[in-house]
Amino acid sequence: MNFFRRMMVGRYGSDQLSMFILVAYLVLHLLSSLLRFAPLSWLSTLLLAFGLYRMFSRNLVKRREENMRFCNFLRPFFDWCKLSSVKRKDRDHAYFKCPNCQQTLRVPKGKGRISIHCRSCGAGFEAKS
pLDDT one-digit tens code per residue, 53-67:
999 899 999 999 999
Q: How far is CA 29 from CA 49, 50, 51, in A?
A: 13, 15, 14
- Considering the chain, what percentage of its residues have pLDDT values greater than 90? 38
**Contact call for residues 123 and 101 (beta carbons, < 8 A):** yes
Examine the pLDDT at 43 and tell me if it is beyond 90.
Answer: yes
Q: Tell me the average pLDDT across 77-98.
A: 87
d(CA 10, CA 60): 8
- 51 pLDDT band (50/70/90 cuts)? very high
The predicted pLDDT at position 68 comes to: 95
| Model pTM score | 0.66
Q: Tell me the average pLDDT across 69-98.
A: 89
